[in-house]
Structure 1
């Protein structure tokens, strides 16, 4: 095992053992390197790596802290990676979404409270069918994020959100706008929300499968053209 990898593992073990908790400040570099039996340079590299994936927060002139470790924070990097992928990889991501999002809609149908349903209704109602692509992308992100947040499962919501790419969504919305499919797509949003509001988990799941699959098929055709 590389020395830096060992340093990362040792810090992880400290967090898992409860020696470091969310919000805690790490001991000074010299003290921690001696405690772990590692060089200060390898510890420094480990801290940099853990900062990138949002496990640690390096505050210049203050110290290094453990972040909140919330799922949404830890999965932020995935959205960046999704943006970089080509169409073929994005199709694989859509296959994952086709598995996760119907489950999220079903859970939302079972668990969404009145306030969450009201926010979803407001999101759908605010969409102007003649809006620009950026507005439609913002709506799409907010709608699917709202469903995920209504599941009551933080990890599922964070995972779905991390697979949501502004870049990919913008490309898709531009495409379906050109093909005149915006109305159909927004109608599907209404239908999914109606099923969630009716607490019909099975219908909400089925409608979401159709919705995500339709976009996936459009993207597949676009990638082959």
Structure 2
């Protein structure tokens, strides 16, 4: 797994990179916000909030707005208010310095389990197959549909209960870990992109004033292990 460590303290960064590499992680480092925002997207970012060129909270917001990378804030800011702000800015977890490598490794495992859910039954809905265990979506003809992590998470949330309306608030909380009202526009934009990639906008129905649901037709939901899967 590829980890980007965003940390300006050389001694701390060097020690942490050595420890993480001993755990088997592929680790690179950025010492400034600018370098972090320009770096290729990893699987996980360990983000110090006390950076020299830009506050880490703003970096977290920009990373979250630009992609689907998992983020753990690592900082000396231990007050509850700071933790709340960090989580609401898009961090998946928040770890206060000093910490041990065992705790950090456990936090990494927990975050990656959330962003890459454990195996669940695959669902086929009018030809569209959603396999959450393999994070794979295929069209009726068997062609794979490439989705971002956020797009897949949205589709997986709807596919758990085909035909059941999932509220915007629930989708925001589950996919973005936020209930900020302004996030609804982000949700709608991602949903529009997801519909376009699926090739049939009617697959996902909008229930105005409530949320979205995966459309169900007469030949629809087919659990994993059913004939033809």
Per the normalisation by structure 2, the TM-score is 0.25
Bigger fraction of residues in helix:
1
TM-score of the pair, normalised by structure 1: 0.25
The structure whose RCO (Cα within 8 Å, separation 6+) is larger is 1
Computing the radius of gyration over CA atoms, which structure comes out larger, 1 or 2?
1
